[in-house]
Structure 1
């Protein structure tokens, strides 16, 4: 993206702007040139036709990576920029402190699948660009969605049995996927993912 000083626009959901304008205590404020130049409200999508003359749709996916995630659908090119909702290299990153949840991630992946067209029904099929990793198609996202759903269900079952966070971590519910998506070091480890799922799976009596 071009530098804002050169006239580029930075668009995002209003929740993102609110978090950028009011960072947690101890964290520096974002510089002015990094602030959004336009926002769209909750439960809204914004259709524009300013990107090289092509119509694009900005879609808010609530409570996924955070509560301010945006996916961008390039209608003419049939390309979805999934942002942090989808990646091919690790388990989903869920920022619980900023409103992220495991169910929001799964809903976001389902949204991508609903928008996508498989290759046999369209020339080349919908192209899906992840936050990190290789360019994907609908089958890749469906596999990732299924994996995340399986792990959500496994961890939720352990929660229903009354296990503590440490007991859930020790159960290694993700062991059969760790070789592909897991990590023991770095910015997002398997244990961090397990903890985020543990904290955000619906409990008994919850409607989330």
Structure 2
């Protein structure tokens, strides 16, 4: 157990980096960064396999809130007197290790699960957590996406409809203020950003904000255009989050080092604005996506942000699609 540690990119993270290696520098090669990303690595299967081997690391924050790292997206947990509230469910392959991490936080059952969006690395565990007694709460578009086949082109993968037990039973489309197990939560609806189903979760009394995948800490983010995402939406979501935090807020990103803050969130926002503007200027000159990738519009940021799954070339392509 750790308390308010600032984790570095872990060995688990470095293993995930190999997803991006083949696509680095392919602008003049046989595959685009996007094609290499999907084709060379069978991404979804690889992530499930990595999750099965991953350890779960728990960081205790404050006010009975902790964050679990290692099962897909970062998972937040509030341990109340009679029950626990989870923010995101992770990947099913890590169920035994998540169960142990939850038990280490107390004997209370999980009574509520909030999904930050529909993606499998955040909602794959819905079914087993619901079977254990939790009510699932999410944006209405998360329910819609989970009930239907979803094609994510950039992953070259079609997700089948989720089983009945994984479907949220309570949904919303505007900001909500709720009290689960004595924990006051502000459920924040973002406009379409990473997907069209994104929410943030503010633990009001603890001053902790879980941003879901609208924020990736220290790494270039994925944008799922197949299910409503956009670069402008990502930027707007970060701006909305920034308007809600202060210098004492603990920020939990969807991916990357799980304990973050306002300054790091702002750096992520500013990076996306700069890259968007760089790519838009090149596209306005009539340059093709390959030419823009070759021009290196992310170069000033690559050393810091380009060390994980989403390579500079792929991120450039994602931005290009939205400007």
TM-score by length of 1: 0.86
Secondary structure class of the residue paired with 1:115: coil
How much has 1:27 moved relative to structure 2? 3.3
How much has 1:24 moved relative to structure 2? 3.3
Task: Kindly report which structure 2 residues correspond to 1:175-194, keeping only aligned pairs within 5 A, or say none.
Answer: 175-183=299-307, 186=309, 188-194=310-316
Partner of 1:39: 171
How much has 1:170 moved relative to structure 2? 0.7
Asked whether the 8 Å contact 2:149–2:161 carries over to 1, the reply is yes
Asked whether the 8 Å contact 1:128–1:136 carries over to 2, the reply is yes
Partner of 1:131: 254
Secondary structure class of the residue paired with 1:108: helix
Asked whether the 8 Å contact 2:148–2:162 carries over to 1, the reply is no
Asked whether the 8 Å contact 1:92–1:105 carries over to 2, the reply is no
How much has 1:28 moved relative to structure 2? 1.8
Partner of 1:147: 271
Partner of 2:50: none
Deviation by residue 1:22-68 (Cα, 9 ceiling, x = unmatched) = 11375322122221121102xx1111011x31211111112211010
Secondary structure class of the residue paired with 2:294: helix
Asked whether the 8 Å contact 2:210–2:253 carries over to 1, the reply is yes
Partner of 1:83: 212
- Take 1:57 and 1:65, find their aligned partners in 2: how far apart are those partners? 20
Secondary structure class of the residue paired with 1:84: helix
How much has 1:112 moved relative to structure 2? 1.1
Secondary structure class of the residue paired with 1:17: helix
| 2:135 is the counterpart of 1:9 | yes
- Take 1:23 and 1:58, find their aligned partners in 2: how far apart are those partners? 26
Task: Kindly report which structure 2 residues correspond to 1:13-162, keeping only aligned pairs within 5 A, or say none.
Answer: 13-24=139-150, 27-41=159-173, 44-50=174-180, 52-118=181-247, 125-134=248-257, 135-162=259-286
Deviation by residue 1:64-99 (Cα, 9 ceiling, x = unmatched) = 110100100111111100110111142121001111
- Take 1:126 and 1:89, find their aligned partners in 2: how far apart are those partners? 18
Q: Which runs of 5+ in 1 are unaligned?
A: 119-124, 202-208
Q: Which runs of 5+ in 2 are unaligned?
A: 1-85, 87-109, 111-128, 152-157
- Take 1:161 and 1:76, find their aligned partners in 2: how far apart are those partners? 49
Secondary structure class of the residue paired with 2:206: coil
Equivalent residue pairs, number = 190
- Take 2:317 and 2:166, find their aligned partners in 1: how far apart are those partners? 31
How much has 1:117 moved relative to structure 2? 1.2
Asked whether the 8 Å contact 2:150–2:161 carries over to 1, the reply is no
How much has 1:7 moved relative to structure 2? 1.7
CA distance change for structure 1 residues 24 and 133 in 2, over 3 Å: closer, same or farther?
closer
Deviation by residue 1:88-117 (Cα, 9 ceiling, x = unmatched) = 142121001111000111111111110001
- Take 1:76 and 1:31, find their aligned partners in 2: how far apart are those partners? 35
